[in-house]
């Protein structure tokens, strides 16, 4: 502050800093909604779901700085390995130009390590036919393509308005085939029209959701969510999941992925889906819960 500000401004900064210790002590007595900048209705919702201690931990986690990870098969100087293979942290800010250049070249991708989980659950191997639904912006599609290499078949689908960024990201993977289509309107004839398979060994659907599991990275979530979202979103997700299930071949695998922590979008939605579609198949029910992300 002494370098940047005038003497009166420096005094003001010091006065504020001297007040901070007592402020933090007093802040412990404030309501959670004020302390953690979270709507009270959402806090009460997760208290009911997960209890006081887990909700407190969740709120504290959302306030911590989000770490940026780079996923690449070809690490370069300046990247620090994380605990997850292929995911790296940036050593210092000086290498960001190099990172951006690699991203533009399609040799690196800015991606959270959580994205590896649904890919692992797909149990991929070379030669499989894979359908990636709600695929944009393409990070998971690229992971799938790298595992399949140039074998099998990978087809990605998303809304037409989402495809520009998607196509930019996958441009170095010519083996990826795609359809710009509303998934709820997707039919077998759409695949047949492009001479693509109509059923697949593996189907991944990463549905639109409340994003309550990534508020740390997307703090705008708390300002746009409303209680109505938790009735609207599960209805949409159930329709999307049901549609996705029609493209899975017998003995195939369907993986449902979301970055929400809300029970209405996860366990309760899954129970509803299974009740409507597979109520008599207990073996499928047990297996499907294992594949719940």
Catalytic residue annotation? 259
Q: How far is CA 283 from the centre of its chain?
A: 28
The packing angle between helices 229-245 and 267-277, to 10°, is 40
Neighbours of 83 (CB within 10 A): 6
Rounded-to-integer distance, Cα 134 and Cα 240, Å: 9
Of the chain, the end-to-end C-alpha distance in Å amounts to 47
Contact 248, 242 (CB under 8 A): no
* DSSP notation for 40-51: HHHHHHHHHHHH
Comparing CA positions, the residue from 43, 42, 36, 33 lying closest to residue 61 is 36
Cβ burial, residue 85 (10 Å; 0-12/13-18/19+): exposed
SS3 131: strand
Residues ≥6 apart with Cβ < 8 Å to 202: 122, 123, 124, 128, 129, 130, 131, 252, 253, 254, 255
Neighbours of 171 (CB within 10 A): 12
């Amino acid at each position: 502050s002494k370098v940047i500000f005038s003497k009166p401004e420096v005094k003001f900064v010091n006065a504020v800093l001297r007040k901070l210790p007592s402020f933090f002590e007093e802040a412990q007595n404030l309501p959670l909604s004020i302390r953690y900048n979270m709507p009270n209705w959402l806090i009460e919702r997760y208290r009911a779901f997960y209890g006081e201690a887990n909700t407190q931990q969740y709120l504290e986690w959302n306030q911590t700085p989000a770490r940026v990870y780079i996923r690449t098969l070809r690490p370069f100087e300046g990247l620090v390995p994380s605990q997850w293979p292929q995911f790296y942290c940036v050593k210092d800010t000086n290498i960001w130009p190099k990172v951006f250049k690699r991203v533009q070249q399609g040799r690196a991708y800015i991606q959270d390590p959580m994205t590896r989980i649904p890919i692992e659950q797909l149990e991929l191997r070379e030669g499989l036919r894979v359908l990636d639904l709600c695929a944009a912006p393409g990070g998971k599609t690229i992971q799938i393509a790298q595992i399949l290499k140039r074998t099998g078949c990978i087809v990605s689908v998303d809304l037409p308005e989402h495809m520009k960024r998607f196509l930019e990201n996958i441009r170095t993977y010519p083996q990826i085939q795609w359809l710009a289509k509303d998934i709820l309107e997707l039919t077998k004839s759409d695949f047949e029209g492009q001479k693509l398979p109509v059923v697949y060994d593996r189907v991944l659907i990463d549905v639109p959701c409340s994003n309550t599991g990534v508020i740390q990275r997307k703090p705008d979530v708390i300002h746009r969510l409303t209680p109505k979202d938790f009735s609207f979103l599960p209805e949409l997700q159930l329709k999307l999941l049901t549609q996705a299930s029609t493209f899975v071949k017998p003995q195939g695998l369907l993986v449902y992925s979301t970055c929400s922590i809300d029970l209405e979008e996860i366990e309760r939605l899954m129970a509803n889906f299974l009740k409507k579609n597979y109520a008599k198949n207990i073996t499928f029910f047990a297996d499907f819960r294992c594949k719940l992300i």
